[in-house]
Amino acid sequence: MKLTVYSFSFRDGAPPQDADFVQDCRRMRNPHHFPDLRPLDSRDARVKGFVREDVRFKPIFENAVQAATYGEKIAFGCFGGKHRSVAMAELVAEELRHQGHHVDVQHRALAG
């Protein structure tokens, strides 16, 4: 089964129209507020680690992985679409690939 995982910015608009499951990551700690992390996006291991350490990470991660196993298209949003949503999309995609799924990841705010 091929799955799609998106990241997007709430600042730039609504979630992808074809998303079945949308997770708001704006309540997670924001790497933007840390000068050493701000210029990076969450494809960087340091930012992924920062997001993974958030107490809200585990329930968001587990819910998304479970939703994806039902074939749903998953979208993660945060304010700027560069840190939290990207990290969650990448980490969930890694887990789904580990489970044997084919995963397409699209980062809307990083595409420009």
| pLDDT of 21 | 92
Q: What angle do CA 45, 51, 54 make, to 5 degrees?
A: 145
Of the candidates 24, 4, 1, the one whose C-alpha atom is nearest the C-alpha of residue 73 is 4
**Once rounded to an integer, what is the mean pLDDT over residues 13-20?**
90
Q: Yes or no: say if 91 and 83 are a contact pair by the CB < 8 Å rule.
A: no
| Structural domain span for residue 34 | 2-110
Q: Any idea which of 51-65, 74-88, 98-112 has the lowest mean pLDDT? A: 98-112
- Quick: pLDDT tens for 41-70: 777 899 999 999 999 999 999 999 999 888
Domain count of the fold of the chain: 1
